[in-house]
Amino acid sequence: MQNAKWRVVQFCILHFAFCISLLANDLSVDRRTARVNESITITVSLEDAFAGVDDVTIPARNLLVNPTPSTSSEFSWINGTVVRRKVFRFAARAVAAGPAQVGPLTITLPDGQRETFAAIVLQILPDRAAGSNDPVVVLRELLASGRDPFFVVGEVDKTDALVGEQVVVTWWLYNAATVEEWQIGSVPKLAEFWVEEVDVRSAQPVQSFVGDYVMQRMPIRRVALFPLRSGTLPIGSMEVEAEVIRRTSSGPFGLFEGNVVQVSFSSAPLSVNIHPLPAGAAPLVGDLTFNCSKPRQKNGGPVLVDATLSGRGMASGRCSTLESTSSFGPTA
C-alpha cells in the first residue's frame, strides 16, 4: 500500500515539474558542438502574453541563421488554466571553426513586459570534408563522422592559363542519401573573370563509384571563365542544401519510417594560376578557329574571300563567345 502511495506522490511531483516546464519561456539549441556547415536548430519557446509575438530575430555570431523559422502554436489546460504557447524553430549553419554564440535575446511586449534570454555559447569544429574537392576524401570524412553521403565538389579543366584564356569550372553533386528535395544555396562571386554560363539543366544523374561506394553524380553548374588579370585567382565555394530522410528503423518497415532533416554542404574553394600574355603577342587568346572561304568573283569584279573567326576567347580585351565573318578583296 505504501509503495502505491509513493508512486502516486512521484507521479504528482513529475506532473508538477512538467507543468512548470511548460510555463517557462526558453531559448535553446539542439547541440553545443557542431562542425562547419553542419545544421543547428535554435528554438525559442514563448508562453502566455509572449505567445502573441509574431516574429523573433535571433542575434548570432559565427552562425548563418535562416530568418524564416517554422512556427507552431499550442494550447494546454493546466490546473484549470488555459496556457498558450508558441514555438519558433530556426535553422542555422556554422560558418567557421571556433566559438559561436546565440543571443543574448530580449523580447519586449507593447505593455512593457520584457523577457531576456542569456547567450548560449557553442564550439564549432573544422570540417575536413569541406576542405577537399576529392570525392573519395570527402565521402570518407562524411561517413566517418556519421553524416549523410550528400556533397558537392568543384573541378577545373586546367589550373594554369593565360590572361583571357578559357577555364571551364564544373560543380558536381554526389548523392547516395534519400533526398526529398535539394537546391543550390549560394554560388561563388567570380569578380576576377568574365563569366559565361554553360547550360547543364538537361543533365541527368549517372552512377559513379567513389572508392567502393556507388553514388549518383550530376553536374549542377558549369561556367566558362576568362581571366581578366594575371596572378593566383580564387574561385569560391558552391553550397547545396537538401532535405534528407534519415531512417529510424532497419526492420521490414524501415523504408517507410524516418525523419526529415535539413543538411547543407559547401565545396572547397579552387584557384587558378593566370600568366600574362607574352610581350608582343596579339590580343587574341582562347580556343578559336579561323576559316576562309573559297575565292569568288562575279562579272569580272573583285575577288572576295569570307574569313570567319569563331570559338571562345578574348579579342581586343573582350572575353566572350566569338563569331565574326568579314569579306575582303584587293585594295587600291
Instruction: Give the pLDDT confidence score for residue 260 in this predicted structure.
Output: 81
Better pLDDT: 286 or 71: 71
Q: What is the DSSP string of 297-330?
A: --TT---BEEEEEEEEEEETTEEEEEEEEEEE--
pLDDT the model gives residue 283:
59
At residue 147, does pLDDT exceed 80?
Answer: yes
Looking at domain 21-125, does it have CATH number 2.160.20?
Answer: no
Q: Which residues contact 138 (CB under 8 A, 6 or more apart)?
A: 129, 130, 132, 151, 153, 174
Q: What is the pLDDT of residue 88?
A: 93
Residue that the C-alpha cell 509575438 belongs to: 53
CB atoms within 10 A of CB 323: 10
Residue 135: band (very low, low, confident or very high) from pLDDT cuts 50, 70, 90: very high
The 10s digit of each residue's pLDDT in 16-26 is 444 444 457 88
pLDDT in tens, 203-219: 999 999 998 899 999 99
Q: Mean of the pLDDT values across residues 220-246?
A: 92
pTM assigned to the model = 0.65
Residue indicated by cell numbers 502566455 = 48
For the stretch 98-101, contacts whose Cβ atoms lie closer than 8 Å and that sit 24 or more positions apart, written own/partner, are 98/62, 98/123, 98/124, 99/61, 99/62, 99/123, 99/124, 100/60, 100/61, 100/62, 100/63, 100/124, 101/60, 101/61, 101/62, 101/63
168 burial type by CB count under 10 A (0-12 exposed, 13-18 middle, 19+ buried): middle
Q: Looking at residue 28, what is its pLDDT?
A: 93
Quick check: 13 pLDDT over 50? no
Q: Which CATH architecture has domain 129-275?
A: Sandwich (2.60)
Average pLDDT, the chain: 82
Whole-number pLDDT of residue 236: 92
Residue range 315-326: mean pLDDT, rounded: 50
With CA atoms as reference, report the closest residue to 22 among 91, 69, 86, 71: 86
Kindly list the domain boundaries of the chain, sorted by start residue: 21-125, 129-275, 284-328
Q: Any bridge partners for residue 247, and if so which?
A: 258
User: Is 316's pLDDT higher than 70?
Assistant: no
Q: What is the pLDDT of residue 296?
A: 81
Buried b or exposed e, range 134-166, using 16+ CB within 10 angstroms:
ebebbbbbbeeeebbbbbbbbebeeeebbbbbb
Strand spans (E) along 109-188: 114-117, 120-125, 150-156, 160-162, 167-175, 178-186
For residue 159, the 8-state DSSP code is: S
Per residue in 291-302, pLDDT (tens digit) is 888 888 777 667
**What is residue 331's predicted lDDT score, i.e. its pLDDT?**
44
Show the cell assigned to 101: 554564440
* pLDDT at position 21: 45
Say whether pLDDT at 137 is over 90: yes
Q: Please tell me the predicted confidence (pLDDT) of residue 291.
A: 83
* Per-residue model confidence (pLDDT) at position 251: 57
Q: Can you spell out the DSSP letters for 189-210?
A: --TTEEEEEE--TT---EEEEE
Q: Taking residues 223-233, what's their average pLDDT?
A: 94
CB environment 231-258: b (16+ within 10 A), e (fewer): eebebbbbbbbbebbeeeeeeeeeeeee
Residue range 240-256: average pLDDT? 70
In the chain, the percentage of residues whose pLDDT exceeds 90 is 42
For position 267, what pLDDT does the model report?
Answer: 92
Contact 162, 225 (CB under 8 A): no
- For 72-124, write each residue's pLDDT tens digit: 887 777 666 777 889 999 988 888 889 999 999 999 998 888 999 999 999 99
Q: Which three cell numbers stand for residue 310?
A: 569563331
Which amino acid is present at 299? N
Predicted local distance difference test score (pLDDT) of residue 252: 57
Q: Report residue 210 as a C-alpha cell.
A: 567513389
pLDDT of residue 140: 92
Q: Which residue has the cell 549553419?
A: 93
The radius of gyration computed from the CA coordinates of the chain, to the nearest angstrom, equals 30
In this chain, the answer to whether the domains covering 21-125 and 129-275 adopt an identical fold is yes
Tell me the C-alpha distance between 292 and 66, whole Å: 57
- Does the pLDDT value for residue 326 go beyond 60? no
The sheet carrying 98-102 orders its strands as 33-35, 120-125, 98-102, 60-61
Which has more confidence, 69 or 316?
69
